[in-house]
Chain A
Amino acid sequence: MAITTDKPVEGDETVHHQTPSKKKNRKPRPQPSVPMTPMIDVTFQLILFFILTFEFRETEGMIPGTLPNKGSFAQAVTDVPPPDPIQIKVIPSANRLMASYEMTGIGTAIQTPRELGLLLQQRREQINSAEVPIVIFPSPDVPWGFVVEAFNQAKLARFQKIGFAQQII
């Protein structure tokens, strides 16, 4: 069986016959092309817009709590006396960059929210009730962040009734 090839073989001087259709195919055909420039322009505009307006935002959330009903203080008369609340005072340091906490039954100042959380959890296990109210007394000039820390730790210790009170000076 003969092997045929289109490639010219060295020393082969035979003139091969080519069909007219093959001759026609040799002519370079213009390739269809999609104009990319406008798309790239628009895409770069979009990229530039996103890069310039982009701002990393951290995930916000909400710590749920409740507010007392207006005028509920006068109505709160029950046979069973309410349990003594645990009071937490929030006191800022001189430069306001730190704050310490004072808690009922703890003689020394608590320096960190984590320490406050541990003490609250211990107290919660001792009394074995989530119904004991926690009252947070922030100093008027304490940054809000430290107040939220106290609230958050009380939540973490699974206390149900957490409230704020204004210190009377």
Chain B
Amino acid sequence: MAKNKVRSCSDVGFNMTPMIDCVFQLIIFFILVGQVANDAYAQHVKLVRPVESQAIPNTKAKFLNKVTVNVVSAAAGQEHPDPADAATMKFYQILTVKYNPGEIDRMIDVIRKQKADYERQLGTSASPAAGAGGKEGDEKMFFLEVRADERVNWQDVAPVIRAGVEAGISKLNITALTAQK
């Protein structure tokens, strides 16, 4: 009687190398493409991409000499929002602090304080950060960055610009998406 050949379990094996290669490629991709979260930027702000955008990519500018005011829509994060909701401003946000529409004076105080802090720091620092404009004269200027949802009404963004003027800021940058390549 013929004996049945029994194969030991150790004979069966998977070739793991290609799988590990792929997995590492994926990890490297996600690490490189992923962006570090920035406290100054509110989530779910739908920015405009203007025709032939003149926006200078943020990678060319450093972030020390500015105050960013986010204008967040009531429809932020919604897939199919009601147009009326989208046009309504929910809150302003500076860093992680949110401000209601009636708190413009409080916002002006915060902007003024950040500007004063920067100027104090500038007095002790030998090499200040470059401005977003990239021009020689812009280097030391403290600027106001308006990062507003493209759907909100102008009447909700105008107070931010006025707050910048009130706080004595002379440079305004508008956040937009850069030109498509």
A: residues with CB less than 8 A from B are: 36, 40, 43-44, 46-47, 50-51, 53-54, 57-70, 90, 95-97, 112-114, 117, 138-145, 147-149, 151-153, 155-156, 164, 166
* B102 shortest CB reach to chain A, Å: 17
| CB nearest neighbor in A for B68 | A62
Q: Are A152 and B51 in contact (CB under 8 A)?
A: yes
**Which single residue of chain B is at the shortest CB-CB distance from A154?**
B54
In this complex, what residue of B is CB-closest to A37? B16
* Extra inter-chain contacts (4) besides given A113-B50, A114-B51, CB under 8 Å: A47-B26, A59-B178, A61-B175, A144-B148
Closest to B48 in A: A145
- The size class of the interface chain B forms with chain A is 35 or more
CB of B71, distance to nearest CB on chain A (Å): 7
Residues of B participating in the A interface, judged by any CB pair closer than 8 Å: 16, 20, 23-24, 26-27, 30-31, 33-35, 41, 47-59, 61, 71, 83, 87, 131-133, 138, 144-145, 148-158, 161, 164-166, 168-178
Q: Is the interface of A mostly helix, strand, loop or mixed?
A: mixed
Q: Closest residue of chain B to A49, judged by CB?
A: B30
**Docked-complex contact B31 and A62, CB < 8 angstroms:** no
Instruction: Report 26 cross-chain contacts, Cβ distance below 8 Å, ordered by A residue.
Output: A40-B20, A50-B26, A50-B27, A50-B34, A54-B34, A61-B53, A62-B56, A63-B55, A65-B173, A66-B171, A67-B170, A70-B165, A90-B154, A96-B87, A113-B51, A139-B154, A141-B153, A142-B154, A143-B150, A143-B152, A144-B149, A144-B152, A144-B156, A151-B174, A152-B55, A156-B52
